[in-house]
Structure formats: C-alpha cells, structure tokens
Amino acid sequence: MSKVALITDTHFGARDGRAIFHDYFQRFYSEVFFPTLTRMGITTVLHLGDLFDRRKYIDYYSLNRCRQYFFDELLRHDMEMYCLVGNHDIALRNTLELNSLELLLQEYSNIYPITAPTTIPVLDTKMLMMPWICSDNFQESMDAIKTTNADICCGHFEISGFSMYKGMESHEGFDAGLFSKFDLVFSGHYHHRSSMGNISYIGNPYSITHMDYADPRGFHIFDTKTREIEFIQNPFDIFDRFVYDDGEGPPQVDTNRFKDKFVKIIVQRKTDFYSFDQFMDKVYNSGAHDIKVMESIHEMDAEEMEESMDIEDTQSILAHYIEKAEVDVDRTKLSKFIKELYIEAINTQV
C-alpha cells in the first residue's frame, strides 16, 4: 500500500463544543472518512495541525466526543497518525513546548505528535514534517528546510498569496520561494483548499462558520509512489443560504433542505409581504438549528453597485489604519495580532 490520508484543521471543540457540531463532525468521520480509508486499505493518516480548537483548554464533553468518533476509531481500525502541532494546539504563542497533543493523547500509542521539524519515512517516502513555526523554533525550522533530503514537505504554514477563506487572501507570512526546493508541499492552517505551483493548502474537512458555505471541504488521498492526490469531498454541510427574490413571483424552494442547518435568508427583493410571510413560516417549520434574515439594500442603481465593489474588506481597512496610526510599537507584529483577533472573531459567529 502506497497511499496515505491527508487531513488538517479538524478543530475538535469548535463552536464552543456544542453537541450540534460534534454530531455534524461525527457524521463525516463515520460515513465518509473511515469508510473511505477502510475500503482503500489505508492505515496511515497525516494530520497537518490544529487538531484541537482552543489554545488554552478543551471542555470534557468535547474531549469525550472526539475520542469516541475519531481517536478511538483510529485505534479500532489499526491506523496510525502522524500529527503536526498547529497554532491552535499550543498554549503559548512563542513556543510549542506546551501543546495539547502531548498532554491529551498520551494513551494512544498509534498517534505520533510532531513537535519539531523532522524528516521521517512515510511508507518508505521521506517527508519533512514541519509543525507551526514560532520564534522559539524559527531557526531550527529554517535549518531543517535547507538541510533535509526530503522532496516532500508537510507543514502548518502561513504563506503569503494564498486564501485563508474563500475570497480572503493573506498578504502576510512566508514567501512561497522558501519552499522551492520541494517537489510537493502540503499545508494546513488556511481552511480554503487551493494550490499554486508546488504548494497545496488541503483545506479543512468540514464547514465551521458561515464563511465556509459553498466552499468544498473534505480530505485527500496521496499516493507516495505515483505522487497523485485525490480529493474526497465531504457531502454534508451544516450551513445553508438562500437569496429571496420575488421579482418574478414567489421563489420555489423545498424548505426541507434547511433541516438541521444554520440558515441565512438574504432578502434581495420583497414585493409581496404576504408571500414572504408564508415562505418564512415554512422556513421556521423546517427544523433548522438557527435562522437569520438579512435585509439587503436593493434600491441601489447599477452605478452605485459598481462603486460599492471598490469598498475595502475589513482586513485591508485595519491594515491601513495600523499603517497610519501613531503608535510606538512594531507595526508588523501589531498587524499580525489584529489579524488573528479578526479571524478569532469570525470563528465565534454561527
């Protein structure tokens, strides 16, 4: 067998450890992930970081649930997993010394936490395994990239030019040229799946926020001999969105699709209030977990709409503000800190 599974950013305990999200995660593992690996005879899993969600702690309920549907299942299927320490797996930002993998997974002899840059044989193929790079291990990480004889690298990187989320490109992090020596680079950290040159962000396995809607999620199968990679898409989503427009009559939609989902109804045009109320009654009776109605401004003419497209995104506004602000601190570090807070804020929204 020359195939391994690549997965990343599972974020166990996300969304405050709510049972609804654990049920959603469990469905993916029980109906997609483990059946696929079993059918293909795959017994090696490479996890590219952010195994857990909270940096400081995990609640007992979340730990028990993810043990049942993931860690215990790995053991039951006689699968081994190499797991990188991601930035969400560390308690302190400047060191990997205190991490959740080593603290919480000691009883699993089939799970190998990667806490330092290490070149290891994976099914007889050498791979450089790179956990999250911080100030404490920066030089060690740079040395490992230069000296390794592996031509495949797996990491949890922040690389400039790739999208963190769909349509949200990062302009910070390492230059892609740093990894030019490798034939293939697989990375976790950014949840949007994308590739450029020899670098691929494999994306996380499921939606966690509304920003993930309509952005394919899943995991990958990598053949170490042929170097072929296959994307296995997660067919389930917990978020849904519907644009309501009755300009050509009441919209026709089967509201049963909203069952067990977090739903956003975006009102683009509403001319018949009675039909809209009937529609919303069906939505509220669909069995959705949560429903948010967003009224949009549809009176704008074409010119105003075109001008509105030039409005900066939130991150750009924050970056420009920091650049012009009269502050006596390192602007690069401040900008990175603000970006992390912004991402945290997004991930707290359901």
DSSP 74-140: HHHTT-EEEEE--GGGBSSTT-SSSBHHHHH-TT-TTEEEE-S-EEEEETTEEEEEE----TTTHHH
* 54 half-sphere exposure, CB direction, 13 A CA radius: 13
Give average pLDDT by consecutive 10-residue segment, the chain, 350 residues: 95 97 98 98 98 96 98 98 98 96 97 98 96 98 98 97 89 95 98 97 96 96 97 97 93 95 95 94 97 70 39 55 62 66 58
pLDDT of residue 304: 38
Cβ atoms of 50 and 87 within 8 Å: the answer is yes
pLDDT of residue 121: 96
CB atoms within 10 A of CB 59: 12
pLDDT of residue 65: 98
Rounded CA separation 171/191 (Å): 16
pLDDT of residue 166: 86
Task: Report the Cα 331 to chain-centroid distance in Å.
Answer: 27
Q: Which amino acid is at 106?
A: Q
Rounded CA separation 140/22 (Å): 37
Rounded CA separation 343/332 (Å): 17
Of 82, 34, 50, 46, whose CA–CA distance to 222 is shortest?
46
Rounded CA separation 28/206 (Å): 8
With tokens 């109906």, the residue in question is 31
pLDDT of residue 23: 98
Q: What is the largest CA-CA distance in the chain?
A: 70
pLDDT of residue 339: 63
Of 221, 186, 217, 215, whose CA–CA distance to 200 is shortest?
186
pLDDT of residue 307: 38
